Amino acid sequence: MKKAELIFIPLPETGHLLSTIEFGKRLMNLDPRISMITILSMKLPYAPHADASLASLTASEPGIRLISLPEIQDPPPIKLLDTSSETYILDFVDKNIPFLRKTIRDLVDSNHVVGLILDFFCVGLIDIGREVNLPSYIFMTSNFGFLGFLQYLPERNRLNSLEFNESSSKEELPIPAFVNRVPAKVEPYAAEHFTRGRDYPHVYPVGPVLNLTGRTNPGLASAQYEEMMKWLDGQPDSSVLFLCFGSMGVFSAPQIQQIAHALERVGFRFIWAIRTNMAGDGDPHEPLPEGLVHRTMGRGIVCREYGVPIATWPMYAEQQLNAFEMVKELGLAVEIRLHHVADGDRITLEIVSADEIATAVRSLMDGDNPIRKKVKEISVVARKAVGDGGSSMAATGDFIRDIFLMIS
């Protein structure tokens, strides 16, 4: 039986790394011909502990090999993260190309490599695949809705050359992937970065890609992890509100205080993962109202790291489109906001008030809210999709079949 190895090149951000590892594990579990998954890990300057987390997550997986690339000596200026995180990431990946090219060539010379699996932000590396005669596949850690949006952008550009901005907020976009017409203000900034490509290759709907069996955040201190798990085990079902805004979700101190006031007002149990800066090394308690931790002791946990209903509050990337899809398209979420307005330095121009947050949270936690029933129904469908014979597993099988057809 011919053995094969795949090289994954993920963006070294939590959401991208976790899904990369889980998808790699799924590929090996489904087909014994895939004997090795190699992950090339780039070092993000503002995420110095990513390598250690990745090593911990892959330590128990003998079929996954982690190769850490050298740290680049001229990283993009960290200030660029505030003005355009997408530009920062694309520049960062571009500066890693010399290391990536050498590592890939060395691996291809000595192993049975049959393809490159590239993160969406690493599409520029397709040229390296061509250099070593390897097919490249894009692993998109987003959803069909966002892919449909990307497919629509060239058509909009052909019909309307005007850029997206606040003045176009009343425009509605007939995106093929959505039943409802999407307000332009949902995603006004994305068009600046993703306007290429008209013809798309075959798409494999392999999601959801999740770790359903164990701990996924080795960066969280063991004692804090155990404390949270013990506390959660002691709470009634569906009674805890989890606040988490992603690896790049950073709020200003005034906004954090409004969230805190809302949590006090509604009185629900909660776990709140706070990031006060992009590095994630700030004191999570510093911007909180004085005495909040003491007043919510026993019903709330504030931590630095971090099939239920969601309250949407989009902040970056494609989250605004996701919020529209979850609230308007699928009816699986409660709206806090569907759009997020910030200036060039990603500073929020409008503070969401404690009253607005509290209203959405009360609706979200209402046991009679029909959204809860619908979410439970959809969660069953999602679990079936990743079970034996499920649609996601079938799509993964199709992907594996096509990989081997390419090399036969």
Task: Return per-residue pLDDT of the chain as tens, 408 residues.
Answer: 578 999 999 998 878 888 899 999 999 999 999 999 999 999 988 776 677 777 777 777 889 999 999 999 899 998 887 777 788 899 999 999 999 999 999 999 877 899 999 998 999 899 999 999 999 999 988 877 777 777 777 777 777 766 655 545 566 666 665 555 544 333 333 333 333 444 567 788 888 887 766 555 555 556 777 777 888 888 888 888 888 776 667 777 888 888 888 888 888 888 887 766 554 445 555 667 776 666 666 666 666 443 566 777 777 677 777 777 777 777 778 888 777 655 444 555 578 888 888 988 888 888 888 888 888 888 888 888 888 888 889 989 999 999 998 877
Q: Which two tokens stand for residue 231?
A: 């506390």
What's the pLDDT score for residue 183? 43
What's the pLDDT score for residue 216? 52
Does residue 232 belong to any structural domain of this protein? no
What's the pLDDT score for residue 30? 93
How many domains does the chain fold into? 3
Same domain, 114 and 157: no
Does residue 377 belong to any structural domain of this protein? no
Question: Which residues make beta-bridge pairs with 242?
Answer: 271
Looking at residue 94, its amino acid is D
Q: Which two tokens stand for residue 16?
A: 């991208």
**0.95 surpassed by pTM:** no
Structural domain span for residue 166: 145-192
Same domain, 137 and 153: no
In which element (H, E) is residue 51 found?
A: helix 50-58
Looking at residue 250, its amino acid is V
Same domain, 355 and 256: yes
What's the pLDDT score for residue 114? 93
* CA dihedral angle for residue 292, residue 298, residue 300, residue 305, rounded to 10 degrees: 110
Same domain, 150 and 128: no
Say if CB 303 and CB 220 are below 8 A apart. Answer: yes
Say if CB 239 and CB 300 are below 8 A apart. Answer: no
What's the pLDDT score for residue 109? 80
State the burial class of residue 87 (Cβ atoms within 10 Å of its Cβ: 0-12, 13-18, 19+): middle
Same domain, 179 and 277: no
Same domain, 310 and 254: yes
Same domain, 131 and 159: no
Does residue 225 belong to any structural domain of this protein? no
What's the pLDDT score for residue 153? 75
| Boundary of a domain, candidates 192, 227, 260 | 192
CATH code, domain with 37: 3.40.50.2000
Does residue 234 belong to any structural domain of this protein? no
Give the C-alpha separation, 86 to 84, whole Å: 5
Does residue 175 belong to any structural domain of this protein? yes
Same domain, 271 and 303: yes
Give the catalytic positions in this structure. 16, 119
**Considering just the CA atoms, what is the radius of gyration of the chain in Å?**
22
| Boundary of a domain, candidates 163, 192, 221 | 192
Biggest CA–CA distance in the chain, Å, is: 66
Strands 172-173, 136-139: pairing kind: unpaired
Give the C-alpha separation, 132 to 15, whole Å: 29
What's the pLDDT score for residue 270? 82
Same domain, 157 and 170: yes
How many beta carbons lie within 10 A of that of residue 366, not counting itself? 13
Same domain, 266 and 339: yes
Distances (CA, A) of 355 to 74, 265, 292: 45, 9, 17
Same domain, 156 and 137: no
Does residue 35 belong to any structural domain of this protein? yes
Same domain, 129 and 157: no
DSSP 399: H
Does residue 186 belong to any structural domain of this protein? yes
Does residue 373 belong to any structural domain of this protein? no
